[in-house]
Amino acid sequence: MARIVRTLAAAMIVLGVAALPALAQGAGDGVAVIDVGSFITSGDGFVDLNGDGVPDLGTLTEGFAGIWDDNVGARTPDEFQDLVADRISGFDTTGAASVLVGPCGGLAISYDEDGLSIDAMVDLGTDDPPLDVYTGEAAMTGGNPFKVDPGGVVAYWGFTADVPTFSTTGEISGVDYGDPAPAYHDHSWTMAVMGVSADRGGDPNQQDKNRNAGLVELGEILGDVDAGPVDLTELRADVKAKGAIIDLYAAGDPGGRRLPDDFDQATIEAEAAGAEFCFGEGWVAFVGSGPPLAATAVAAILAAAGFAGLLFNVRPAQSWRA
């Protein structure tokens, strides 16, 4: 009788462990407290369909990548995996806070696979960290990560603030850019996720662009990655990401000088050597449905076997011989 009770108790614990995550699926983030409409100045169809105060995904015309960009979307899966093969040993794992320093700002909205907004954050180009559009609190922190659907899309609108210390390399003669100089030139940028180099690029920027908008189509990118039985478009995990851009870093290098894969804020400051730079890091939460049921079932069976084995087959046994 006692064995049956213990077996039932073990089964209940295992079932509870497996079922709780499904019950813990949270609701959305409510209604936005920051109006982000002023950021979205081009593109058609950005209408708030789900009533959360953040425009849902509209239509963007195809743009142009930077000359030195590693265009992930145009790569084969093998090339993408080669790109992310670089391990970064000095990745900061301790900080739960988010950071964005330098004259960079912008808006990022994450959409689910139906194009409905699920999270948004904005940075006004100051040294303050980015803000959660829905709550007004610091975004991309360990406690309030930027939520993204791994099968969805992230849309971003970025800008550089007007500071007098930007380079004027590449200015087109006869064009009045005003004062101060407006943009990064001959720049290099890099991004890393979980200590792995995820993307990098750069551009001479002879047109002095200081605005940029685009989409990160996570569903397509992660869907192309061969991760064996794991479907990365259903990933559910918090990951740490960081990125940097340095003005004039690639000046004089027609191939586009590449930023080091292993970097932190101090590294970027040293590499910039007085030139303008932006550095940011924070937490991103992938909110997919998680691992497939089969994997959870196998783990539950392992748990039940281990638990039952410890209960019934491991305790010391007293034997005797007459």
Contact region with other proteins (CB under 8 A), list: 125-133, 148-156, 201-209, 237-245: 237-245
Phi, psi angles (nearest 5°) of residue 53: 85, 0
| 146-148/277-287 β-pairing | parallel
Question: What type of residue is 168?
Answer: T
Cα(299)–Cα(293) distance, rounded to whole angstroms? 10
Q: Which residues contact 256 (CB under 8 A, 6 or more apart)?
A: 67, 68, 188, 201, 202, 250
Task: Kindly tell me which of 223 and 290 has the beta carbon lying closer to other proteins.
Answer: 290
Is 314 a binder of other proteins (CB under 8 A)? yes
Please tell me the count of residues contacting other proteins according to CB under 8 A: 42
Q: What does DSSP assign to residue 85?
A: T
What the block records as the tokens of 98 is 């988010």
Residue bearing tokens 């992310």: 84
| 187-193/131-132 β-pairing | unpaired
Is 297 a binder of other proteins (CB under 8 A)? no
Task: Kindly tell me which of 185 and 240 has the beta carbon lying closer to other proteins.
Answer: 240
Is 229 a binder of other proteins (CB under 8 A)? no
Is 177 a binder of other proteins (CB under 8 A)? no
Is 16 a binder of other proteins (CB under 8 A)? no
Binds other proteins (CB under 8 A): choice among 236, 260, 261, 269: 236
Residue bearing tokens 């027609």: 254
Cα(163)–Cα(160) distance, rounded to whole angstroms? 9
Is 27 a binder of other proteins (CB under 8 A)? no
Residue bearing tokens 């005797």: 320
Task: Kindly tell me which of 1 and 20 has the beta carbon lying closer to other proteins.
Answer: 20
Binds other proteins (CB under 8 A): choice among 240, 242, 248, 256: 240
Is 318 a binder of other proteins (CB under 8 A)? yes
Is 309 a binder of other proteins (CB under 8 A)? yes
Tell me if 241 sits within 8 A of 190, measured CB to CB: no
Is 20 a binder of other proteins (CB under 8 A)? yes
* Of the candidates 157, 260, 258, 155, the residue with the CA atom closest to the CA atom of residue 209: 157
Is 142 a binder of other proteins (CB under 8 A)? yes
Task: Report long-range pairs for 19-22 (Cβ below 8 Å, ≥24 apart).
Answer: 21/290
Is 310 a binder of other proteins (CB under 8 A)? yes
Is 316 a binder of other proteins (CB under 8 A)? yes
Contact region with other proteins (CB under 8 A), list: 86-94, 122-130, 148-156, 270-278: 86-94
The 3-state DSSP class for residue 131 equals strand
Task: Kindly tell me which of 156 and 307 has the beta carbon lying closer to other proteins.
Answer: 307
Tell me if 107 sits within 8 A of 121, measured CB to CB: yes
Contact region with other proteins (CB under 8 A), list: 26-34, 65-73, 161-169, 230-238: 230-238
Binds other proteins (CB under 8 A): choice among 65, 225, 239, 251: 239
Binds other proteins (CB under 8 A): choice among 9, 21, 82, 124: 21
Is 209 a binder of other proteins (CB under 8 A)? no
Question: What type of residue is 234?
Answer: E
Q: Which residues contact 126 (CB under 8 A, 6 or more apart)?
A: 105
Using CB under 8 A, list all residues that contact other proteins. 17-18, 20-21, 87-89, 91, 93, 142, 194-196, 236-240, 283, 290-291, 295-296, 299-300, 302-303, 305-307, 309-310, 313-322
